């Protein structure tokens, strides 16, 4: 069933992730030539956006999970809550990320 994003978030913050994609579903999409998988953080929290230690931990966990589940790390990143963070970008750029998406959900370098 379809629910609004805000409702899915409230459920997820309480530990219910039934309205989120499973890794098995992400793998199916990843095998399709028309789609690219990107990262969106591990904790998905605005609290990490201005905290270097928080971003490093967030990225470490995110990258580890992608390596374990998909066998690689994507080079695309969409900011948590679409809130652009220069710290996130600088850290991820050093990890090989080349595309960053902001609040319009379009490539912020092609604006």
What would the pLDDT profile of 23-61 be if each residue is shown by its tens digit? 999 999 999 988 889 988 887 776 766 778 888 888 899
> Tell me, what's the pLDDT at 28?
95
Q: Which two tokens stand for residue 96?
A: 């090989």
Report how far residue 40's alpha carbon sits from residue 59's, in angstroms, rounded to the nearest whole number. Answer: 10
Report how far residue 9's alpha carbon sits from residue 46's, in angstroms, rounded to the nearest whole number. Answer: 13
What would the pLDDT profile of 82-105 be if each residue is shown by its tens digit? 777 788 788 889 989 998 887 766
Residue 111, pLDDT above cutoff 60? no
Query: Can you spell out the DSSP letters for 5-26?
Result: HHHHHHHHHTT--TTS--HHHH
Predicted structure pTM score: 0.76
């Amino acid at each position: 069933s379809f629910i609004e994003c805000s409702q899915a978030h409230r459920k997820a913050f309480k530990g219910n992730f039934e309205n989120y994609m499973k890794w098995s579903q992400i793998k199916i999409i990843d095998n399709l030539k028309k789609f690219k998988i990107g990262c969106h953080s591990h904790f998905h929290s605005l609290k990490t956006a201005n905290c270097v230690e928080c971003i490093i931990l967030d990225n470490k966990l995110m990258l580890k999970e992608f390596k374990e589940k998909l066998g690689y790390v994507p080079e695309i990143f969409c900011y948590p809550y679409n809130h652009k963070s220069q710290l996130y970008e600088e850290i991820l750029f050093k990890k090989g990320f080349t595309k960053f998406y902001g609040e319009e959900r379009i490539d912020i370098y092609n604006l």
